[in-house]
Structure 1
Amino acid sequence: MQAFFWMMGTLASFALMAVGARELSGDIATQQTLFIRSVIGLFCVLLISFLSQKRIKFQTKRLKLHTMRNIFHFLGQYGWFIGLGLLPLAEVFALEFTVPIWTLIIASLFLGEKITQSKLVSIALGFLGVFVILKPGIAMVNSASLFVLASAVCYAISHTATKSLSATESPLSILFYMCLVQMPIGLCLSVSSWVWPEGMQWSWLVIIGLTALSAHFCIAKAMQYAEATTVVTLDFLRLPLIALVGVVLYSESIEIGLIFGGLLMLAANIVSMRGRRVVNANNKEL
């Protein structure tokens, strides 16, 4: 029950972030939004560190990996935010579910993780889901969809780096460097197109900054109370939720192919998770 509660916080965070990005699209440049989001995030991380009873150290010997991770994370966010302004919200979220599939491939190439039979099935199901959503050969593939897919690959590279960093760095330290590295990138890219936000725009920027942190926090808490497969299954509720938001707020239509493709990718992620659990159990027996 506690895992369900925290996952509802995750779903609400992602939904609010998506709506905020859509509301700012066309008025505030994406790179400026990401800069302000990093400023808010850095302030929150430092405040948490200051208020914490334990002294949190941010020193690191892996600055190059932090930098590489956050360059790709910034690119992933940029593509995701661009997609939210150009595509139906549900399509962006559905394509985002390819991130674990790309992560499997990248982790096998750069971290030496073994490609098992379950991983191969997972990858096949994931790509089948992408084909169902994009419908290549039936309709011209929207370039914005390819943009979101590219952002998913960048997210996967970022997640792979995070997996390596988590062996030596605390979660708060990873968030600290995420904001610290991405903040000057966003500032440099937004100087030429800077627009001072007005009225509700400030509110949406604050919402994006806070929900970006709360989404990570809630999903981490959910992982403490439930197995990864349960969390992944609950996370899939993001798709029908954001589809409903798109219908209510932006009069978007819901395509059956999109839901079916999303289900295929959900199945892919569950197969991957269960395969990993079997491997871990066998290793413990040995």
Structure 2
Amino acid sequence: MDVKNAIKYMVLSTLAFACMNATVKYLKNIDTYQIVFFRSLSSLFFTFGFLLKNKIPIIGKNNKLLILRSITGASSMLLFFMSVKYLSIGTAVALRYSAPIFAAIFAVILLRERIRPVQWLFFIISFVGIIVLKGLDTSINTTGLILVLIAAVLSGLVYIIINKIGKSEHPAVIVNYFMVTATVLGGVLSIKNWITPSGTDWFFLFSLGVFGYFGQINMTKAFQIASTNIVAPLKYVEVVFTATIGVLIFSEVYTLYSLLGIALIIGGLILNVWYKSRVKL
């Protein structure tokens, strides 16, 4: 187990994702459908290249589940990007990370999995964070909150679908299906809403896929060389990086209630990861 390198890879991953989030915020004058289109299209260069280089079949076996995962994931990404237009990026990312709460609910209902009472306590802590954000922080936009929570629900459903797919599909095949679907969805919806990007906007649009790809690659490397209980909590550093970028570049302001709400959301989720790593469920 190489803890030092795992931490390095995870920090690089969260930084890449934070840069992607900030880029979405920067492109506020570009239609969200276009952002989804370019983010996915630029990632396809990496996924298709990997599949072709390693001679991995592109189609896959579980086509229905792969398509369902792709549609659900693409919809979640679209709604999250929309929410960034209304919320500070750190808050949006923290709320998106509430997905494991919904994944646990889906797991109980659809997979008949067992969730221990203490885990529900941790999820309640995170949910209280959401209530604090909306109930006490008057700066939180209701439209943005609804969009990002629906995105989190769909993201939670994605976890369940991937669990059903299991190891029968190569991870690159799953990601490639997702990117193809998101490219088509974003492209079709962009037709009537097209805004011609400026010179610099083109660069930032295509950088979305690069940031997303390198974030995913470094995260995968981290999980491959160290235990989950060490690596998984580090992914929430993305919230810190993203919020910092929001303050420094976009002059975003986080109230005391915002910080408290974000801390409760992330704290509850980290506690759940820590607990699962020590108890066989």
Mapped to 2, the partners of 1:44 and 1:73 lie a distance apart of 18
Give the CA deviation at 1:195: 2.6
Q: 5+ residue gaps in structure 2?
A: none
Give the alignment's Cα RMSD to 1 decimal: 2.0
Of 3, 9, 20, the residue aligned with 1:17 is 20
Residues 104, 119 of structure 1: 8 Å contact kept: no
Q: Relative to 1, partners in 2 of residues 1:232 and 1:129: Cα closer, same or farther, differing over 3 Å? A: farther
Q: 5+ residue gaps in structure 1?
A: none
Map 1:59-78; keep pairs closer than 5 Å: 59-78=59-78
Tell me the percent identity.
24
The farther-off stretch of 256-265 and 1-10 is 256-265
Give the CA deviation at 1:270: 2.9
Partner of residue 44, structure 2 = 42
Q: Kindly provide the amino acid, as one letter, of the partner of residue 223 in structure 2.
A: M
Partner of residue 220, structure 1 = 220
Partner of residue 150, structure 2 = 150
1:4 lines up with 2:7 in the alignment: yes
Residues 94, 258 of structure 1: 8 Å contact kept: no
Residues 129, 260 of structure 2: 8 Å contact kept: yes
Residues 73, 155 of structure 2: 8 Å contact kept: yes
SS of the residue corresponding to residue 244 of structure 2 reads: helix
SS of the residue corresponding to residue 245 of structure 2 reads: helix
Q: Kindly provide the amino acid, as one letter, of the partner of residue 39 in structure 1.
A: L
Q: Kindly provide the amino acid, as one letter, of the partner of residue 216 in structure 2.
A: H
Partner of residue 247, structure 2 = 247
Partner of residue 204, structure 1 = 204
Mapped to 1, the partners of 2:28 and 2:73 lie a distance apart of 20
TM-score w.r.t. the length of structure 2 is: 0.91
Partner of residue 119, structure 1 = 119
Map 1:123-138; keep pairs closer than 5 Å: 123-135=123-135
Q: Relative to 1, partners in 2 of residues 1:128 and 1:175: Cα closer, same or farther, differing over 3 Å? A: same
C-alpha offsets along residues 181-220 of structure 1, whole Å, 9 cap, x if unaligned? 2222112111111233231111111111111222222212
Give the CA deviation at 1:140: 7.7
Give the CA deviation at 1:138: 6.8
Residues 232, 269 of structure 1: 8 Å contact kept: no
C-alpha offsets along residues 206-248 of structure 1, whole Å, 9 cap, x if unaligned? 1111112222222121112333232232222222222221111
1:96 lines up with 2:99 in the alignment: no
C-alpha offsets along residues 159-191 of structure 1, whole Å, 9 cap, x if unaligned? 221222232111111111111222221121111
TM-score w.r.t. the length of structure 1 is: 0.89
Q: Relative to 1, partners in 2 of residues 1:193 and 1:137: Cα closer, same or farther, differing over 3 Å? A: closer
Mapped to 2, the partners of 1:3 and 1:192 lie a distance apart of 44
Mapped to 2, the partners of 1:139 and 1:212 lie a distance apart of 29
Q: Relative to 1, partners in 2 of residues 1:267 and 1:60: Cα closer, same or farther, differing over 3 Å? A: same
Residues 90, 242 of structure 2: 8 Å contact kept: yes
SS of the residue corresponding to residue 254 of structure 1 reads: coil
Give the CA deviation at 1:262: 2.3
Question: How many pairs does the alignment contain?
Answer: 278
Partner of residue 174, structure 1 = 174
Residues 51, 173 of structure 2: 8 Å contact kept: no
Mapped to 1, the partners of 2:139 and 2:190 lie a distance apart of 35
Residues 16, 211 of structure 1: 8 Å contact kept: yes
1:165 lines up with 2:165 in the alignment: yes
